Structure 1
Amino acid sequence: MPNPSPLCQRLLPWVCLMVAGTALAAPAEKDQVNLPLTTLHYTSELVRFQGYTDQAVQSWREANDRVGRIGGWRAYAKEAATGQPAPDTPPAANPHAGHHEGGKQ
């Protein structure tokens, strides 16, 4: 079999690409499916946005005393984890809980 000309060697890939592109661009009528239209609903996340509001200013001594009464930073950590506000009175606590004993109770 004789070698194809250099022109044919350069044009053959492009011809194949055009034939494949036309086959993909025109699907058969039986393959087309008429799907029902859907209605899109959009709800902005900004609907639930709560802007910043000022809190009442109080004495720093009163704030520190309150933190001491309710159990310190652990009360605020529990408040953040559960979503429930910290009570003004501390729960019954282990008097040795603040000591560093390697986790012994």
Structure 2
Amino acid sequence: MDIRFISKPLVGLAVLWPVWANIAQAQTPAAAPPTNTQTQAEPAPFRSALENYQPYTDEKIAPWKAANEQVDRNGGWRTYAKEGRSPASPAAAPQADPHAGHTKP
């Protein structure tokens, strides 16, 4: 039997043995954490997400004639249109032209 056939794997095993030992040691779990001897806190009481649920109810709708008369008493549709153009509205503020400095070559 040829000794070289057996000796090469043995030499390789002897060379790599320290590497394998370090890897195996690194993978061993650490010591178990100390156990907690204190009592655990009581869990919070169950509260349903639906406990304050209010079912949908239809609103009382005024007759259309009464609604139109109320709009007339308030000043008509122009009064409601002016509310949309109030000076507090950001759309009513004058805006500078963002393309004012651009020129064609």
Q: Could you tell me the TM-score, scaled by structure 1's length?
A: 0.39
Which of the pair is proportionally richer in helix? 1
- In terms of Rg, which structure is larger? 2
Larger RCO (CA within 8 A; separation ≥ 6): 1
Given the two structures, how large is their TM-score scaled by the length of structure 2?
Answer: 0.39
